[in-house]
Amino acid sequence: MQNRQFFFAPKIQYELVAERSEANHSNLRIPFWCSILELVRTHFAAAGGEEVPPRKFGKAAEPHRSKPQKNPEKNIGSNHILIFGEKNFLILMETNDDLDTSNEIKFFSTTGEEVELRKFNIFIGISLGNKLLTKELAKAYVEWAIERTKKNVVVLIADEIDAVNWMIFNNLDETSAGEKVSNKAQGLDDMFSRAIKIIAREKDSTVENRVKVIRWRDVKTDRFNKLLATLESEFETNLDFRNRILSFVKKYCELRKKSVVEADQVKLAGYILAELPTLLEGIEFNGVQYDMIFYPTYIDSGMSQFVLDIQNGIYPDLLSKLQLSVKCVMAESYLEKLEILFD
């Protein structure tokens, strides 16, 4: 197994050095399973057994003993993150490797080289269900986009279309779901707005004018509504198209470990249908056409490939009805998916 890394951490990056117990203690550069005590003892013995553990909270960690300690995890330094599960845990160790976006981003209908040439206006698609998003990641995403966009950047928070998820997965009524969505969306809005201000202060004062945070209502133009109506009609009349959409719904339900009846699956399909116009043709905001989406996600769900298939005519009649004036290109950045996020 090769090392996996967490990217888009601007100043600190982390490398997975342990997952669970069993195996090779000879080289910490290879992920292996071990108990907390085994990890602590092995990691700091890796340099010959005499290495002083990193400082934590301003104090040097206590030297490791051969006998079991009551709280061995206290000896793990501040350059580690512990993520606990029921029986297993992850240890992430800080690395000094440079950020290499080619290893973390997958492009659709374009290449990394084209993106570096600033051929597209980029919008960042943010889902309310993204539980791994942090202020550091928000800042890094904006920095990545502003360095590669043709002119401006938009951060699109998919708020109102997320209400259906709260209604079905959390059994909330429409009003309560709307309140949840509003609160979460405002939190994300604040996070990205702060990131933009920090970048403007530290790097480029023009960023505040070139990067805008918007909501779903801001992309619901006449063109968007026309595309959505066409897609909703296709969902009702084209069985193959309908089944492809529902396959994404079922995959998402499995990821969340939820059993959802067919009628509710159809309701959840509304989320996918609503986002398809933005993926197929991009978005228009303040007179600027944004023709590339940058989307942080947990896994390669196959959605971008599905969009590519539609753009390339897998459903000829649908493509004819859509009459796409622009074909949006896509980039997916994969976050580490931890099972505890969906329990």
Please provide residue 191's backbone torsions phi and psi, each rounded to the nearest 5 degrees: -60, -50
Q: What global pTM score does this model have?
A: 0.70
Paired with 80 in beta bridges are 93
Residue 162 CA to residue 129 CA, distance in Å, equals 8
Please provide residue 293's backbone torsions phi and psi, each rounded to the nearest 5 degrees: -105, 135
Q: Scanning the structure block, which residue is given the tokens 């959390």?
A: 170
Residue 290 CA to residue 280 CA, distance in Å, equals 11
In CATH terms, the fold of domain 101-342 is Rossmann fold (3.40.50)
Where exactly are the structural domains of the chain? Answer: 5-95, 101-342
Contact (Cβ atoms closer than 8 angstroms) between residue 58 and residue 44: no
pLDDT at 132 (0 to 100): 84
One pLDDT digit (tens) per residue for the chain, 343 residues: 333 333 333 333 334 444 433 333 333 332 333 334 344 444 444 444 444 444 333 333 344 444 444 444 444 443 344 434 333 334 443 333 333 333 378 999 999 999 999 999 999 999 998 888 899 999 999 999 999 999 999 999 999 999 999 999 999 999 999 999 999 999 999 999 999 999 999 999 999 999 999 999 999 999 999 999 999 999 999 999 999 999 999 999 998 889 999 999 999 999 999 999 999 999 999 999 999 999 998 778 899 999 999 999 999 999 999 999 999 999 999 876 444 343 3
